[in-house]
Amino acid sequence: MKTELNFDNFVSVMHDLFDKLPDYRKTSPNLKYSLKDAALGAFSMFFSQSSSFLSWQQTMQECHGHNNASTLFGIKKIPSDNQIRKLLDVIPPERFYPLFSWTFDELHNGGHLKDYRFWDGCMLMPIDGTEYFRSGKLNCGNCSVSRHKNGKTTYSHKVLTPVIVTPNNPKVICLEPEFITPQDGAEKQDCELNAAKRWIERNADLAKHKVIILGDDLFSREPFCQLILSKGFHFVLVCKPDSHKTLYEYVDYLEKSTDIKTLSFKKWNGRFHELFNFRYCNNLPIKDGENVLQVNWVEITVTNLSTGAVSYKNSFITDFELNPDSVPLIVQAGRARWKVENENNNILKTKGYHLEHNYGHGDKFLSSTMVTLNLLAFLAHTFLEFVDLTYRAIRQKLAARKRFFHDFNTLTKYLLFDSWNHLMNFMAAKLKIPNTA
């Protein structure tokens, strides 16, 4: 019989993974804190959305001989912030990636991702890079460097954050990141496109789930599209006239010969009617040359019928054949790419995860490793919304995300809970939430 998923499963797998973190320190009886406790400590800080969580638990330990960092997360000895930074600086973020894969697989195998099958049994995976640090002075060896015409130099950290989405659900399933950072042996600056190529190469096994990769115009280049297809993925990518001149020359020619197909329909959006106009064509060359990739192109224009104003216009290329049935769905998929920014990156920056806070650069991997643990905390909360009915009911009852974490931190600051279920059941009882078992 399959074990029911819960937060204990997540923490258990996290412990197994953190047990394998390589300790580069010389063996000594003076080693007080383990790498595992440092990683768990950072995770608990991001999970609780409080930089004070560990200090509160340290105070509880000193006053009462017990603490919630131990009972909820399994931390044996609570390290300080400086100790966490020092210990985690040497651990590359890739060491934590298996937990992303485990979470996705368990949610999928448990039937929780059925609603994420969008069209033709496919899942949608937008990719986008986001900046999480910028400075004119502070920098490290992993910074991207921008030299400006005015003589100034800026240093930044960026990361590619793929997610699984579906158009009508605000929950996104974040996958392992790929950091945009100087690569060994490379003369040029790293970029989003190269980072995306590395991610696709490393995660080709995900293609078995029939994944459609979504992205902006930056990604709609022949080498990247060929890589996507060679690994078994599909794509719906923005395609702009300025960057695809040959393709649009074919579009203009075919339009004059009336070979461009069209589709139109009206739709009520709850406030006014909108007119959706589509133009589309199959088998166009993505660029000039012989034996180049043939793609299928579609353009959408949305007009507000009450004002006559165009509210949206964009074009996409895809490997799926376009016809009157598939065109609206392909375009809907393409438009879902914004969810990686609005419902992942912006949430991480503005809703308590403080993605853009500088937790330290360190000498090696600290900045990227801390971001990875932050993403894992966000993933853990999403995981809980799928598998923990009590947690979900509490979040819905409290409504505001900020209020839940305020209550979580207040309770764990003063009261001991011997398990996650104990804490959830306590909160549910005080909020008079019916038994969800």
Please check the confidence at residue 156 and state whether its pLDDT lies above 60: yes
The secondary structure of residue 34, as a DSSP letter, is -
Report the range out of 48-57, 135-144, 255-264 with the highest average pLDDT: 48-57
Let me know: does 103 contact 128? Beta carbons within 8 Å.
Answer: no
Residue 365 is assigned to a structural domain of this protein? yes
Q: Which residues of 318-353 are buried (b: 16+ CB within 10 A; e: fewer)?
A: bbbebeeebbbbbbbbbbbbebbbebbbebbbeebb
139 and 74 in a common domain: no
pLDDT score for 1: 40
Structural domain boundaries enclosing 127: 113-347
379 and 411 in a common domain: yes
The predicted model scores a pTM of 0.94
Name the nearest CA neighbour of 56 among 370, 360, 380, 411.
411
Mean pLDDT of 310-336: 97
Over its C-alpha atoms, the chain yields an Rg (Å, rounded) of 24
Name the nearest CA neighbour of 47 among 297, 357, 384, 436.
384
Residue 44 is assigned to a structural domain of this protein? yes
159 and 38 in a common domain: no
Mean pLDDT of 362-377: 94
Instruction: Name the residue with higher pLDDT: 184 or 147.
Output: 147
pLDDT score for 436: 66
Long-range CB contacts for residues 390-396, cutoff 8 Å, separation at least 24: 390/421, 390/424, 390/425, 390/428, 390/433, 390/436, 391/7, 391/424, 392/436, 393/428, 393/433, 393/436, 394/424, 394/427, 394/428, 394/431, 394/433
CATH code of the domain containing 202: 3.90.350.10
Residue 437 is assigned to a structural domain of this protein? no
Residue 106 is assigned to a structural domain of this protein? no
374 and 334 in a common domain: no
365 and 306 in a common domain: no
Please check the confidence at residue 72 and state whether its pLDDT lies above 90: yes
Domain boundary among 293, 325, 347: 347
374-422 pLDDT, tens digit each: 999 999 999 999 999 999 999 999 988 899 999 999 999 999 999 999 9
77 and 162 in a common domain: no
261 and 161 in a common domain: yes
Let me know: does 88 contact 35? Beta carbons within 8 Å.
Answer: yes
- Indicate the average pLDDT of the chain: 93
Q: How many C-beta atoms lie closer than 10 Å to residue 279's C-beta?
A: 19
Please check the confidence at residue 437 and state whether its pLDDT lies above 80: no
Residue 104 is assigned to a structural domain of this protein? no
Strand 169-174 with 211-215, pairing: unpaired
275 and 126 in a common domain: yes
Domain boundary among 347, 371, 389: 347
165 and 143 in a common domain: yes
Residue 100 is assigned to a structural domain of this protein? no
**Domain count along the chain:** 2
Please check the confidence at residue 273 and state whether its pLDDT lies above 80: yes
372 and 326 in a common domain: no
Residue 124 is assigned to a structural domain of this protein? yes
310 and 171 in a common domain: yes
152 and 194 in a common domain: yes
Let me know: does 238 contact 126? Beta carbons within 8 Å.
Answer: no
Residue 277 is assigned to a structural domain of this protein? yes
Domain boundary among 347, 369, 396: 347
